[in-house]
């Protein structure tokens, strides 16, 4: 009897050793009082929140030329942090125009008041219900941030997002909002074939249900903010701002003149775009060159 028991225990031990690598690692204690941001990390069939070391170096004053978008999202966030009703937000438009930077700046603005940021990748949106479940009842206010959100044709994950935005049978907790950025206004591509089955019945137009289903996703966001390509003057004003910030941090004297302006314009032409990201990169390049001598 003892021999059989020992054999069974040995086999069980071998089985556990094989299964152990497949099991999710134990998550360390998570203290949101000293953790400002985290990332949802998929591990096997489960997932975990991993704390991030974030620098609060982006401020609302650094967002130049997007005053309306900045003010609207800032007001919505203030309502949310204060425990008042607020809306999920979709920031859509041209790349490099400050959409992600605006969300980062809001964390710096409201971290002391209890705002926390959780990054979740577009490929992990199916885990949203599990993430939300872990946040319910906590005293902090959480913005789930999905950068560059979009879906391809035939992708069904957007239905999970719809249920989280609106809530299904169970209402989403009041301490969670979703902020997403995208280059697409409607997030899901619309094909010409989607419109092939439009019908006119008794004088009423019935669009294809696929079109309605796709557009309905964007409608779940109560706040839409549009970001447009920069004009040359807008681009140059952002360049001047970042040179002033970076040069000031290094104690570097500088003057804005025609030569510097032409250099900034040529930099943008060489990159093939003219936006805030390009302006920030040029400022770092130029200040670095001056310091190098």
Instruction: Convert the pLDDT of each residue in 177-232 to its tens digit.
Output: 999 998 766 555 555 455 555 555 444 455 555 545 555 666 778 899 999 999 99
Residue pair 90/177 in contact by the 8 Å Cβ criterion: no
Return d(Cα 130, Cα 173) in angstroms, integer. 12
In tens, the pLDDT along 240-255 reads: 999 999 999 999 999 9
Residue pair 207/198 in contact by the 8 Å Cβ criterion: yes
> Residue ranges of the alpha helices (H) in the chain?
2-19, 67-81, 99-110, 128-135, 157-166, 209-219, 232-250, 258-271, 276-292
More confident residue, 262 or 212: 262
Residue pair 124/47 in contact by the 8 Å Cβ criterion: yes
Q: Sorting pLDDT into bands at 50, 70 and 90, what band is 130?
A: confident
Question: Over pLDDT 90: what percentage of the chain?
Answer: 48
| Lowest-confidence segment of 40-44, 83-87, 160-164 by average pLDDT | 160-164
Return d(Cα 278, Cα 293) in angstroms, integer. 23
């Amino acid at each position: 009897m003892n021999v059989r028991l020992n054999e069974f225990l040995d086999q069980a031990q071998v089985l556990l050793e094989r299964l152990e690598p497949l099991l999710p690692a134990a998550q360390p204690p998570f203290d949101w009082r000293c953790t400002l941001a985290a990332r949802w990390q998929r591990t096997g069939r489960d997932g975990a929140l991993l704390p991030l070391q974030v620098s609060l170096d982006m401020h609302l004053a650094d967002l130049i030329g997007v005053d309306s978008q900045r003010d609207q999202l800032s007001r919505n966030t203030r309502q949310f942090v204060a425990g008042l009703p607020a809306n999920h937000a979709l920031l859509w438009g041209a790349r490099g125009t400050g959409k992600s930077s605006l969300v980062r700046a809001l964390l710096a603005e409201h971290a002391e008041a209890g705002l926390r940021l959780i990054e979740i990748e577009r490929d992990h949106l199916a885990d949203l219900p599990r993430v939300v479940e872990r946040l319910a009842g906590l005293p902090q206010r959480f913005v789930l941030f999905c950068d560059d959100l979009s879906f391809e044709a035939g992708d069904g994950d957007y239905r999970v997002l719809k249920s989280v935005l609106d809530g299904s049978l169970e209402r989403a907790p009041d301490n969670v909002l979703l902020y997403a950025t995208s280059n697409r206004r409607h997030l899901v591509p619309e094909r010409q074939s989607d419109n092939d089955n439009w019908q006119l019945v008794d004088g009423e137009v019935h669009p294809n249900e696929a079109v309605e289903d796709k557009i309905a996703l964007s409608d779940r966001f109560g706040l839409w903010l549009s970001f447009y390509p920069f004009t040359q003057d807008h681009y140059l004003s952002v360049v001047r701002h970042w040179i002033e910030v970076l040069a000031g941090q290094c104690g570097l004297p500088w003057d804005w003149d025609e030569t510097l302006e032409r250099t900034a314009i040529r930099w943008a032409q060489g990159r093939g775009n003219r936006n805030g990201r390009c302006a920030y990169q040029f400022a770092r390049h130029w200040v670095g060159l001056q310091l190098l001598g």
